[in-house]
Chain A
Amino acid sequence: MRKQLCKRGSIANALMMTVLTFGLLMVAAGASIFQFNMSNQDGTQDGARRLAEAAVQTTIARLIKKPDVDATTLPSLQMQLESYPGGQALLAFDSAQANSWQIPLSVNNLQRAGNLPATTSLPGWGSTVVQPETANLVGVGRYRGQECRVEAVLYLPKCPYVVASSVPILAQGGLQVFGINDPSALANGFQNIPASAIEPGHIVTNADDNLTEALRIYGPGTRIEGDAQSHGRLDVSGATVIGEQRPHAELVPMPQIDIPGLNTTNKTGNSVLTTNNNAPLGPTTLTGYNSHEGDLEINGGLTLTGGVLWVNGSLKVQGGLNGKGAVIANGTIQLDGGGAMTGDGAALVAQGPIQLNGTVGQRTEFRGLIYTEGNLSCRYANISGAVVVNNPDPAGAAYMEQVSMAESQQLASINVPIVVRVPGSPGVPGMQGFPPTLHANLPTGGDPYGYGVGAVTQYLGGTGAPTLFTANMNGPREDYTVPPAGYPVTHQPTPAEPWYEIGVPNPFPSDPVTLGSIRINNPDPNGSLSSIDNDGYGWQSAYEQYTDRASARSALIRIAQAWGSGNAQAATDAFLDAADQKTISEAPQFVQIWNYNSKLLGQSNINNPGQPPTPGSILFTNFSMDLSQFFKVSDRIRVLSWREI
């Protein structure tokens, strides 16, 4: 019995030890496998994350190259990385593709197509809202069954400074620097901007210290709502700086405008301004492209109504600058006296110094952007927009006295519609001809109204040709840049449809001749010829033209009598009555042809944007300038957030 018990105990011992050993072995194996799995899973997750990041980073590279890519130009993106075989990096701007891949939608709202600034928010993935000038990118990496999603929010800010200067800045009292989000805050003037509308605005210089601090903004009344930044030292004694004071800061990128490239001289429809022996011009209003060779002085103010003025020299304006447009000079620009550049902003660009000289009682108001490659001097001025002093001369300076500056990204982005009327005769193939004009008489056409005068021989050099006075009733001049007088305008030109259309007058004017003109040729019965036509008839260079019945009647009777007509009055009245009737009866046909030709000319410019505009047509262009465009996108783009979701 005891022997049996001992035997059983030994077997149990042996079994227990075996189980223990096996268990320990299993634990050891399990630990190893667990570690291996953890390590493997870690590697897989890392791979998925790097693939997701690769998708986002590649998209950023595409956006830097072309900030307005969208679902059309880049519907989706799919790539692989060699270190993660079988893995995929995915990103989709196209919602259908995003749904198909089952990944969140990416949205680019940095810019609209055509590099236009984005202005409205767009819906993103889930409940996210993609603000203007931002992009929401979601890259998805899939690797060995693991998925990782990386979201990046990008921001493409405009020029962020109120004043950016490459030379030292000196402000001696009264300098106010701030920002405004909405230009409507300026509606009641600088002195009445609501406190709630005032935002931080920054002043910055890249200048090194010369003899004094690179940034000196001191004196009573000086207040900077944002940062005061200098590559050298700064002196803000007595001033209030709400933001940070940043001495010895890193250089900020400065925009570089190609000023000679803004020369309007070769622009279609450019008007050349001339002066009398360089005497100053009086009050001047400019529309479209204008240029002036040499220095120009204007007394009484310069008003721009969608006008751009290029001065190949220096410009001095007394009486202020008003309206909307751009003034560019490769010399100095000096504006004396008050003025109000209003609306959406203007541009003041000079290769030389810029001076804005207001007075205590009449401060100069300027909205838009100021760019100079010389020195800047502002006194008693209110400036909203952005100011850039990009003077390569380190000895230069930007001087301000009693100046208020409001940074506004909207106002610093200039877009001036320019309407250019191209002179000349229309000549587009396919244009329709008007009905034949009505002649009072012709050497070949008989004498329907009874003037009773025949042709005489007149001479061109030694060659004689039969010649007779004539009169004909014409429709309005074929100038499609201006709607003809007396006809109602039924379609105003727009950038999309740059042509006029007119309607039939209703009622007709009491003097239908005013709807056209009467031209009297060969007025001199004893004259000499300037040409002989293919039919052998002679033509004098002189003629008379009238746009009302009374004047035409008087002249035609006088000329007919001079040619020897004994029935000049009756014949002239009969001719004019017929002319009235023809003008009225043919008005619908005339209007139809005029509109057809006008539209054809307008479309010829739209459909052939690369071709020279057709003479006689209206050309719509835009003068646009945005300081941001002179920064590289890669210098502007900012990564606001980068996270795994």
Chain B
Amino acid sequence: MEGNLIVVASAARSPKGSMLLEQVVSIGLVAILLLVVAFTIVRTQRSSQAGKVRFEANMLAQNTLEAEQAQGISARNLGHLPLLQGRFSNDLIYQVDRELFTVLGQPATTGLTDQEIKGIRVTVTWRDLSGAQKAQAEGIAVKVAR
């Protein structure tokens, strides 16, 4: 029994001196390392993609807000405007919700009417691998000749 144990121990040890266990650990660690690297690369790519989409969404929200602000507001009703739909550069589908709401009731708007000032909220929504996303921009619109 003792002799068998000695044989097994001799067989697990490399003739050069490294142990099988060390090699297994090393390979395991390398595998983990490769996995982490791969994960990081994928994660970074995904973040980069998501960041790009978010940037596009923010720009879209900002541009839509400014476009709405530039339009005459006096004849427009409060509430949601028809949804806009489009695709980001990575082909993801987005929707743009534009809502005109009253800002009256704040002291700053004393003496004004809804024909003279309105709030505009633009919400861009889309869905990616992380789930539902949104970007929002909100501002005030008044009638100003430019």
Seen from chain A, the residues whose Cβ lies within 8 Å of a Cβ on chain B are 2-3, 6, 10, 13-14, 17-18, 20-21, 24-25, 27-28, 31-32, 35, 39, 42-43, 46, 50, 53-55, 57-58, 60-62, 64-66, 77-84, 89, 634-639
Partner of B62, one of A28, A46, A78, A634: A46
Asked whether A57 lies within 8 Å of B116 as measured between CB atoms, the reply is: no
Asked whether B19 lies within 8 Å of A61 as measured between CB atoms, the reply is: no
If A57-B142, A80-B106 touch, whether A28 touches B112 (CB-CB below 8 Å) is no
If A17-B30, A21-B33, A31-B44 are given as contacts, then 5 extra A-B residue pairs at C-beta distance below 8 Å, sorted by A number, are A25-B36, A58-B108, A83-B138, A635-B145, A638-B145
Shortest distance from the beta carbon of A58 to any chain B beta carbon, whole Å: 5
8 A-B pairs with the lowest CB-CB distances in the bound complex, closest first? A17-B29, A83-B138, A61-B142, A28-B40, A10-B22, A79-B108, A57-B140, A61-B117
Asked whether B138 lies within 8 Å of A58 as measured between CB atoms, the reply is: no
Q: What is the CA–CA distance of A54 and B138 in the complex, to the nearest angstrom?
A: 9
Asked whether B51 lies within 8 Å of A10 as measured between CB atoms, the reply is: no
Query: A638's closest neighbor in chain B, by CB?
Result: B145
Contacts of A66 in B (CB 8 A): 111
Does B98 touch A at the CB level, under 8 Å? no
Contacts of B109 in A (CB 8 A): 58, 61, 79
Query: A2's closest neighbor in chain B, by CB?
Result: B17
Asked whether B25 lies within 8 Å of A54 as measured between CB atoms, the reply is: no
Asked whether A62 lies within 8 Å of B137 as measured between CB atoms, the reply is: no
If A31-B47, A60-B144 touch, whether A24 touches B40 (CB-CB below 8 Å) is yes
If A10-B18, A10-B19, A54-B140 touch, whether A24 touches B36 (CB-CB below 8 Å) is yes
Query: A253's closest neighbor in chain B, by CB?
Result: B145
If A21-B33, A58-B109 touch, whether A46 touches B137 (CB-CB below 8 Å) is yes
Asked whether A20 lies within 8 Å of B140 as measured between CB atoms, the reply is: no
Contacts of B54 in A (CB 8 A): 39
- Chain A residues touching B, majority SS: helix
If A60-B142, A639-B144 touch, whether A81 touches B30 (CB-CB below 8 Å) is no
Contacts of A77 in B (CB 8 A): 107-108
> What is the total number of residues of chain B having a CB less than 8 Å from a CB of chain A?
45
Seen from chain B, the residues whose Cβ lies within 8 Å of a Cβ on chain A are 17-19, 22, 25-26, 29-30, 32-33, 36-37, 39-40, 43-44, 47, 51, 54, 58, 62, 65, 69, 103, 106-109, 111-112, 116-117, 119, 121, 136-146
Asked whether B22 lies within 8 Å of A64 as measured between CB atoms, the reply is: no
Q: What is the CA–CA distance of A417 and B24 in the complex, to the nearest angstrom?
A: 106
Shortest distance from the beta carbon of B108 to any chain A beta carbon, whole Å: 4
Q: What is the CA–CA distance of A171 and B35 in the complex, to the nearest angstrom?
A: 85
Asked whether B32 lies within 8 Å of A35 as measured between CB atoms, the reply is: no
Asked whether A17 lies within 8 Å of B33 as measured between CB atoms, the reply is: yes
Contacts of B145 in A (CB 8 A): 634-638
Shortest distance from the beta carbon of A53 to any chain B beta carbon, whole Å: 6
Query: A74's closest neighbor in chain B, by CB?
Result: B110
Query: B146's closest neighbor in chain A, by CB?
Result: A639
Asked whether A24 lies within 8 Å of B116 as measured between CB atoms, the reply is: no
Contacts of B39 in A (CB 8 A): 28
Shortest distance from the beta carbon of A73 to any chain B beta carbon, whole Å: 10
Partner of B19, one of A6, A35, A54: A6
Partner of A83, one of B18, B19, B136: B136
Query: A34's closest neighbor in chain B, by CB?
Result: B47
Asked whether B108 lies within 8 Å of A78 as measured between CB atoms, the reply is: yes
Q: What is the CA–CA distance of A14 and B32 in the complex, to the nearest angstrom?
A: 12
Shortest distance from the beta carbon of B115 to any chain A beta carbon, whole Å: 10
Contacts of B136 in A (CB 8 A): 83
Partner of A6, one of B17, B69, B116: B17
Asked whether B26 lies within 8 Å of A17 as measured between CB atoms, the reply is: yes
If A3-B17, A65-B116 touch, whether A84 touches B138 (CB-CB below 8 Å) is yes
Q: What is the CA–CA distance of A18 and B36 in the complex, to the nearest angstrom?
A: 12
Query: B139's closest neighbor in chain A, by CB?
Result: A50
Asked whether B25 lies within 8 Å of A14 as measured between CB atoms, the reply is: yes
Contacts of A81 in B (CB 8 A): 119, 138-140
Q: What is the CA–CA distance of A27 and B144 in the complex, to the nearest angstrom?
A: 50
Q: What is the CA–CA distance of A3 and B13 in the complex, to the nearest angstrom?
A: 11
Query: A42's closest neighbor in chain B, by CB?
Result: B58
A–B Cβ pairs within 8 angstroms, 26 of them = A2-B17, A10-B26, A14-B26, A17-B26, A21-B36, A24-B33, A24-B40, A27-B40, A28-B39, A31-B43, A35-B47, A46-B58, A50-B65, A58-B108, A58-B112, A58-B117, A58-B140, A61-B109, A61-B116, A64-B116, A64-B143, A77-B108, A79-B106, A635-B145, A636-B145, A637-B144
Asked whether B140 lies within 8 Å of A14 as measured between CB atoms, the reply is: no
Shortest distance from the beta carbon of A50 to any chain B beta carbon, whole Å: 5
Asked whether B51 lies within 8 Å of A13 as measured between CB atoms, the reply is: no
Asked whether B107 lies within 8 Å of A62 as measured between CB atoms, the reply is: no
Asked whether A79 lies within 8 Å of B103 as measured between CB atoms, the reply is: yes
Shortest distance from the beta carbon of A641 to any chain B beta carbon, whole Å: 12
Contacts of A61 in B (CB 8 A): 109, 112, 116-117, 140, 142-143
Asked whether A62 lies within 8 Å of B111 as measured between CB atoms, the reply is: yes
Query: A84's closest neighbor in chain B, by CB?
Result: B138
Asked whether B112 lies within 8 Å of A62 as measured between CB atoms, the reply is: yes
Contacts of A65 in B (CB 8 A): 111-112, 116
Contacts of B140 in A (CB 8 A): 53-54, 57-58, 61, 81
Q: What is the CA–CA distance of A56 and B82 in the complex, to the nearest angstrom?
A: 28
Shortest distance from the beta carbon of A110 to any chain B beta carbon, whole Å: 13
Shortest distance from the beta carbon of A55 to any chain B beta carbon, whole Å: 8
Shortest distance from the beta carbon of A151 to any chain B beta carbon, whole Å: 15
Q: What is the CA–CA distance of A3 and B112 in the complex, to the nearest angstrom?
A: 89
Q: What is the CA–CA distance of A42 and B142 in the complex, to the nearest angstrom?
A: 26
Partner of B43, one of A10, A18, A28, A89: A28
